[in-house]
Amino acid sequence: MRRFFSISSILLAAALPVACSFSKASESEIFHDGSAPIDVSLPPPNGGGDSGGLVSDAMVTCAEANPQTTNLPPDVLIVLDRSGSMNDDLNDQPCMAGCTSKWTTAVTTLTSYLPTVESTVNWGLKLFATAGGNGNNSSCNVSNGAEVAPATNNSAAIINRLMMTTAGSSTPTTAAMTAAAAYLKSLNDGNPKFILLATDGIPTCGKAACAAGVNTGGGSQNQCDDANAIAAVKTVFDTDGIGTFVLGIGTANSPGDSTLSQMAVNGGHPRNDTPAYFPIGSADDLTQAFMSITQTVGQCFFSVTPALTGVQAIGGVTYDGGTIPQDATNGYTIQGKNGIQLNGQSCTDFTAGKIKNVRVLVDCNG
């Protein structure tokens, strides 16, 4: 059964006389259980009257907590591949004197970009394999934590850590995704959570035979782990509610192209283009990818805190004049139980002011 009640509690609304308006329910509006619909409209988080905002609706009798809409900066953990093949150039060829490696491209781009958006997103950093694991370059070790915890104004800490790091390991993508999700789940800050997976190819540290032409960075051709990595990304999104953006550094048309595209789809944030992941063939491509992701997580995510529990579940999304479909390409996707993400054209329309007063409908079952 779906009924509507503003996601702000009655008590909270009483403390917001300027932002809220009330009207007395008529006898016809009183439900048989004695409750009545209460409409409390919250302004956009930034206070802009016409810039569009979020109003979440739920039923009084099924609200187990006092959730409210928030505009918290997202925690985005950059999960960065430091495998030996990152020492090759962007054409996946051995880097000779004077060339720029994939690793150098990643470090220099982040050095210039992150300071420009460090107040918009809580950036964090996790390297895989963990630097120094086993003291050799074939390490498959991945630590449980993060090299740099997500926080505001965090670019200097991330850049300093990258400057201390060199590429030279295997590519334990499966372990990296599992550990990154566990770490983000341990952060009880209420902020929406995302993973930005930046890698240059096929997951290794497994037991499957690698496809012909796969560059394992000098490792065994019988250690690929595509299926497990693809499944890990899906579990992180479906079970943990953490979306993953996938960047392929120097991987366009490579044997890993299909694997990265499947990861992007399973992570809930594929591009509305081919390939589904962000292909990085230059420093400019990497900057543009980070800009697109920053815009998406910073402007098109609507969080509901605390997360809905028990009989509450997000059941639909509407706005003034229409309905937004549940669609990973151009509609909305549910991010765990703490909010929704507008994707593609819906995000574009929201940021342009064409979509206003987004309303999350809450199904109450029971």
Non-local (6+) Cβ contacts of 87 within 8 A are 95, 101, 102, 103, 167, 168
Do 169 and 272 lie in a common domain? yes
Q: Which of 70, 66, 80 has its CA nearest to residue 114?
A: 80
Strands 339-342 and 301-305: what pairing? antiparallel
CB of 304 closer than 8 Å to CB of 5: no
Specify the DSSP element, H or E, that contains 181.
helix 173-185
Does 123 map to a domain?
Answer: yes
Q: Are residues 203 and 90 in the same domain?
A: yes
What are the pLDDT digits (tens) for 276-318? Answer: 999 999 999 999 999 999 988 877 877 766 666 666 777 788 8
**Same structural domain for residues 108 and 157?**
yes
What residue numbers bound the domain in which 339 lies?
10-67+312-364
Q: Would you say residue 58 has pLDDT above 90?
A: no
Percentages (nearest 5) of helix, strand, coil residues in the chain: 30, 20, 50
Looking at the fold, whether 128 and 228 belong to one and the same domain comes out as yes
Q: How many structural domains is the chain composed of?
A: 2
63 and 93 inside one domain: no
Residue type, 161: R
Q: Tell me if 82 is assigned to some domain.
A: yes
The whole-model pTM stands at 0.73
Q: Rounded to an integer, what distance in angstroms lies between the CA atom of residue 287 and that of residue 113?
A: 7
DSSP 61: G
Please state, in angstroms and rounded to a whole number, the distance separating the CA atoms of residues 244 and 216. 23
Among 48-57, 102-111, 185-194, 335-344, the minimum mean pLDDT is found in 48-57
